[in-house]
Amino acid sequence: MNRSVRSTLASGEEPLSDTASAARAAYPMTSKKLREEASVKTALVQLNPTVGDIRGNLQLVRDAVQQATRGGAELIVLSELVLSGYPPRDLLMREGFVAACDQAVAELAASLPTTVGVVLGHPTKRGVPHGRIANAASLISDGKIIETVHKSLLPNYDVFDERRYFRPADTVRPVEFRGHRLGIHICEDAWWGHPSTSYHDDPIAAPDPVATLAAAGVDVFVNLSASPFEKHKHNRRQELIQQHVAKYGRPFLFVNQVGGNDDLVFDGNSFGLNAAGQVCEQLGAFCSESRIVELPLADALPASSSAGPGVCKDEQEMLDALILGLRDYVRKCGFTDCVLGLSGGIDSALACYIAAEAVGPKQVHGIAMPSRYSSSHSVDDARQLAEALGIDYELIAIDAMHQAYEQTDVVGEDLLSQPGGLADQNLQARIRGAIVMTRSNRHGWMALATGNKSELAVGYCTLYGDMCGGFAVLSDIFKKDVYGISRYINDVREKREVIPQTTISKPPSAELAPDQLDQDTLPPYPILDGILERLIEREESVATVSKHFPAATVAWVAARLDRNEFKRRQMPPGIKLSSRAFGTGRRMPMAARFNIK
């Protein structure tokens, strides 16, 4: 839609765009009285699909349809690309994959009872010219595909890369179902013009799909999403949708995917708003769920209910995301158990708690591996944690292995020439990593790396040592959040001392050299985290950050951040919780030189 139309719509009028005019011509308006009197029981269904498991995802959909139908649902709305799972990435390029998704849609349509319609997301080749594919949503009913709409806005920022695969929609038009004109659109289509997207004030972007649907006279907006979790993302989504409702005076259904897929975790948090912008239904966070609303939406939930997950503390949301992300990564990769090193420090303690919640304490194997520099209280803290969680625990001292290296030619000379030096410290970490990986290889357990975002940012970690493993549980939370979540576990979630208080209160140390503390090498964590948050998540310059922190410290942190990109490129995947996580959403060069302050 052009700028003049956008401003006119903002003033309350609704001129028709070309696509909206075509839509109204194709779908004559149902009378207002009929639309208001006709009610359709609609199920909002958030599922946890597995990427690529088309048959398994189809069965999830069938089970959900059966359950919702038993509850009286006449229309069932599922999430974006639920048949393929999101994000399918380059599976979309594999021969036969999209065709198999199209076949699954046809099978589902043929098997549906005549009393119900289903709206679901899937990739498709049908109706897409030039051999391309589309990110689609289909309404199926009466044994056939009634209508298929394509996604208009294809995000190409942060973790999204949809222009690599999909062709955008040619038209945007309503879909009619039992007297209701549905404004079906897909995820990013609702974010046109939002400051966080690449479509903000972009004069060459596609027209605003929501505005086009509103101008075409829809009765209810229906958004199918696979919107990954970030801190406070649920609140931002709801505020965005409420703005649409306030602008166009139509109710709005939002259905989101749930579950972990690789480095992304999806929180669900689906909801329905009535025409007054009030929450009529709110689904849960980080769980598969189905709820039925009645179109046209009317009654709002009580204020305490409609607040929903937005009232949760940050620590609760982050912890729930970490647990679900790890659980699904382990399960979807075919593992049952996790193994990790327990140092007695706070990072491994929190990672161990998350693992115990994700896969069950009996499936978690913790290994304490003290060296000559390890303190007795660290070994005691590791044991106390294991006992509190009820996990499998063993102690393997590494000093004999350390000595064996010292007694070898050449390498031993290097180590003994600088005891407790950098090579010696890294060797201890690598001995521990080798032990964890040996246990992983022997028993088929998923090995967990336990480093946090603060350490990974400045390279305070060892390649092939504490960085080794199959999954980096804490890679997108700063040290301050590690402490905050650990306190939340003890004080709120468990209401008992699960993570030892001494682990929380003692100064952090790698214990790889005599009397070593983290802050012998690093700035105090509150300062380090504040600098990193501005450099990474806000992409501020050194000069800007130096207005808030000591300039020399900022310069040191920025140099370390850039210098250690090569380490992060080799770390295991982790769970994205922030707007700028290390991994697919942050693509920095390794061999680079950029010194502008």
- To the query of whether residue 312 is one of the catalytic residues in this protein, the response is no
DSSP state at residue 133:
B
How many of the other CB atoms lie within 10 Å of CB of 552?
9
What is the DSSP-derived secondary structure letter of residue 74?
Answer: S
| DSSP code at position 572 | P
Residue 530 in tokens: 């504040």
Choosing from 74, 80, 147, 533, the catalytic residue is 80
User: Among candidates 313, 317, 417, 419, which has minimal Cα distance to 372?
Assistant: 419
In 317-347, which positions are buried (b, 16+ CB within 10 angstroms) versus exposed (e)?
Answer: bbbbbbbbbbbbbbbbeebebbbbbbbbbbb
- The question of whether 151 is a catalytic residue gets the answer yes
Q: Which of 74, 147, 151, 533 is catalytic?
A: 151
Residue 468 is among the residues annotated as catalytic for this protein: no
Q: How far apart are CA 543 and CA 541, in angstroms?
A: 5
Segment 565-571 long-range contacts (CB within 8 Å, at least 24 positions apart):
565/589, 565/590, 565/592, 566/590, 567/456, 567/459, 567/461, 567/463, 567/467, 568/456, 570/463, 570/467, 571/449, 571/451, 571/456, 571/467, 571/472, 571/475
Name the catalytic one among 101, 187, 352, 468.
187
For residue 490, what are the contacts with CB-CB under 8 A and spacing of at least 6? 496, 497, 498, 499, 501, 504
Q: Which two tokens stand for residue 448?
A: 């967990």
The answer to whether the Cα torsion of 518, 338, 493, 454 is positive or negative is: positive
End-to-end CA distance of the chain: 40
Place of tokens 């038993």: 70
Catalytic machinery residues: 80, 151, 187
